[in-house]
Amino acid sequence: MRLLVAEADASLAELLQSRFQQEHFAVQVASTGYQISELSEKSPIDLIILDLNLPGIPGPEFLHTIHRRWPEMPVILVSQATPMEERVRGLNAGADDFVIKPFAVAELVARVHAVLRRRNRPVSDTFHFEDLEVNRVSHKVSRNGQAIELSPKEYALLEYLLRHSGRPVSRNSIIEEVWCMHSDCITNVVDVYINYLRKKIDAGAERPLIRTIRGVGYQIGENHLPQ
């Protein structure tokens, strides 16, 4: 799968590029509407993430330019908080989804998978980790066959831990990835949400999955052993 990330915020574009590469996407980045317009109709792109604040983007109507160049191209629009009428206008112009900033990167990843799934493209959407099952499209979570209700942030945190299963992740990386904030904004929110997850995921289980790695952060599962 090949993505075009058209994002005005350079640090966020870099973060999205890194994350989607972890998902085995090939990622191209654009920082202006002009760069998008200069791409060839034959450019191999499977989905576009389009920031409406990008220089040279006149609004959702830019989707008509995209679809003239790449008919039926799936597009997810991204923008700062906008009125409902603006979001409806974007969807009516042909967007497949509309995401409001700030957002959890894990949620955007799940939305990309959902759009590609609706377009009948083969994307794996389910995690199986020991007796835990997580569906990235529906966000349904169960352990040992028992359904677990998670809030959107709890789900995003769990999905991030699973992406790095067997490896410790720092509080800084969690706050940047899940809350989409710079690490210097870190508070105890990570510890609070880890406790929420433990109560829902590990409570009553014979084998806890979420581990505290002292001096580092948190980890799900045991350490990966060298091959």
What is the per-residue pLDDT across 95-115, written as a single tens digit (0 to 9) for each?
A: 889 898 888 898 899 889 888
Residue among 217, 218, 197, 9 nearest 103 (CA): 9
Phi, then psi, of 139 in degrees rounded to 5: 65, 20
Stated pTM of the model: 0.55
Give the SS3 label for residue 26: strand
Instruction: Spell out a b/e string for 201-226, using b for 16 or more CB atoms within 10 Å of the CB, else e.
Output: bbeeeeeebbbeeeeebbbbbeeeee
Domain boundaries, the chain: 2-118, 126-220
Q: Which CATH architecture has domain 126-220?
A: Orthogonal Bundle (1.10)
- Residue 219 confidence class, pLDDT cut points 50, 70, 90: very high
The domain 2-118 having CATH identifier 3.50.50.60: the answer here is no
Residue 69 tokens, joined: 């160049």
pLDDT for the residue numbered 122: 46
If DSSP states are collapsed to H, E and C, what string results for 90-139?
HHHCCCCEEEECCCCHHHHHHHHHHHHHHCCCCCCCEEEECCEEEECCCC
Give the SS3 label for residue 217: strand
Rounded to whole angstroms, how far apart are CA atoms 50 and 73?
A: 12
| pLDDT tens-digit readout, 61-77 | 888 888 888 888 899 99
What amino acid occupies position 93? A
